[in-house]
Amino acid sequence: MCQDCGCGDPEIVPVEVQHKILEKNDRTAQHNRDHFVGDAILCVNLMGSPGAGKTAVLEATARAAGNPRKFAALPGDLATDNDAERLRAAGIRSRGITTGQACHLDAELVHRAVHHFDLADVEYLFVENVGNLVCPAVYDVGQSANVVALSVTEGEDKPLKYPTMFQNADLVLITKVDLLPFLPHVRLSAIRDSLARVMPDPRVIAMSAFSGVGIDEWLRWLDQRRTRILTDRALVGVHHG
Amino acid sequence: MHEYSIVQSLVDSVAGVVAENGGGTVHHVSIEIGELSGVDTDLLQTAYDTFREGTLCERAPLTIKRTPARWECRKCAASIARGAILRCPVCDSPARMVSGDEIMLRRVELEVA
C-alpha cells in the first residue's frame, strides 16, 4: 500500500541485483568439474559444426594413443546413438546423450549421463557437444578445457561469423587438412588470421584424422592440460572418495 | 536456438529474487545481454513474450540492455578495436574482454500491496 498519500495503490519496489541468469547451470557445472578434477579426469568440451569431424578426431585419438581405456566420451546429438556406437567400436567407453530438440548440452544433462557411467581408470572425458557453432558456447558443462573442431571445408572466415564459439576456446583443431590439395581457395594462414581476430591467444593444431597429421601434437596438448589439473589439484589438496 | 531455455532460467532467477524479498507481483524485469554472449536479444524478447504466460512474469515487460563488446590489452589496458588482431599493437600482449559476454539479471520491480 502506498504509504505517502493513502491512495490505496500498490507500491512499486525496485530490486537491483547482479545475478547470472545461468547461475543454476553454472553451479551444476562446477559440481561436475569438482568431481572430474577430484577423480583426476580432464574433461574436454569438444564443440564444432555438424560434420566438422569431432567423432573422427576421437576415433583417431584412440587409435594413436594405444590404450583407449583411458578415454571416455559423452557424444550429444538430437537423435540416434550412432556416434556412441562408433566410439565404442574404437574402444572408447561411450554413452550417447540424445537431446530431442535441444541444440546444446547443459551441465544437468552431463550430470545425469555421468551418474550412469563407469569412469573408473578414465583420464580423459570428452563431452562431444551437439554439432552447432552457436548454442553450445553459452553453456558450461563442467569442462576444464574448451576445444573447437573447425574443418577446412567450412571456409576461412567461419571464426569471424561465429566469434562467441571461438573466443573462449583453449584450442582449435583445424580438421581434414588432408583435403587442402582439393581446396585451392582455402588457406590455413587465412583461417589462422580469422582466429586471431576473435581469440586473444589462439592455440591451433592442424590435423587430419584420416592421415594422422597433428594427432601426436593433440595427444601432447591433452597430456599437458591433464598434468596442469593434477598439479592444481595437488596444490589445493583435493581428494575425492 | 537456446533462447527459450534462457527464458526458463530467467523466470527461475526472478522467482528467486521474489522469494528473497518476501513476495510481491513482478511488475518489470531488466536484464543485460552482451553482444558476444551468444544470446540473440530479438529472439530472447520473442521467447520471453511467448513463455512468460502462466509464470510469475506474466504481467512484467522485459527491458534488455545490450552491452557492446570491448577488448583491451591485459597488460597496458590499451583499447583494441573489434575485428582487429586481438593482441596489443603496443606491447604484444593478448587482449582481454572488458565487456560483451554478460547474461545478467539486473533489476526486478516488485508490486507490493
Instruction: Quote the minimal CA–CA distance from B46 to chain A in Å.
Output: 17
Q: Give yes or no for A102 touching B (CB within 8 A).
A: yes
- Domains, chain A: 23-230 (3.40.50.300)
Backbone angles phi, psi at A185, to 5 degrees: -95, 0
Q: What is the pLDDT of residue A241?
A: 43
Q: What is the pLDDT of residue B86?
A: 97
Mutate to test the interface with A, among B86, B88, B92, B97 (most CBs of A within 10 A): B86
Contacts of B113 in chain A (CB under 8 A): 1, 10
- Report whether A119 contacts A143 (CB < 8 A): no
A 10 A CB-CB count for A80 gives: 11
Contacts of B96 in chain A (CB under 8 A): 200
Indicate the residue of A11, A18, A200 with minimum beta-carbon distance to B104. A18
Which residue is associated with the grid cell 585451392?
A184
**CATH of the domain spanning B3-111, picked from 3.30.530.20, 3.50.50.60, 3.40.50.150, 3.30.2320.80:** 3.30.2320.80
- Report whether A215 contacts A223 (CB < 8 A): no
Specify burial of residue A13 (Cβ count, 10 A radius: 0-12, 13-18, 19+). Answer: middle
Q: Which helix (H) or strand (E) holds A75?
A: strand A71-77
Q: What is the pLDDT of residue A164?
A: 96
- The answer to whether the Cα torsion of B19, B25, B28, B33 is positive or negative is positive
Q: What is the pLDDT of residue B2?
A: 86
Q: Which residues of chain A have pLDDT under 70?
A: 1-8, 238-241
What is the distance of C-alpha B99 from the center of its chain? 11
Indicate the residue of A16, A197, A199 with minimum beta-carbon distance to B107. A16
Q: What is the CA radius of gyration of chain A?
A: 21
A 10 A CB-CB count for A192 gives: 16
Instruction: Quote the minimal CA–CA distance from A83 to chain B in Å.
Output: 23
Interface ipTM: 0.94
- Report whether B31 contacts B104 (CB < 8 A): yes
Mutate to test the interface with A, among B98, B105, B109 (most CBs of A within 10 A): B105
Q: Residue B1 and residue A135: Cβ atoms within 8 Å?
A: yes
pLDDT tens digits, residue range B42-92? Answer: 999 999 999 999 999 999 999 999 999 999 999 999 999 989 999 999 999
Of A63-67, B3-7, B26-30, which one has max mean pLDDT? B26-30
- Sorted by where each begins, the domain ranges of chain B are 3-111
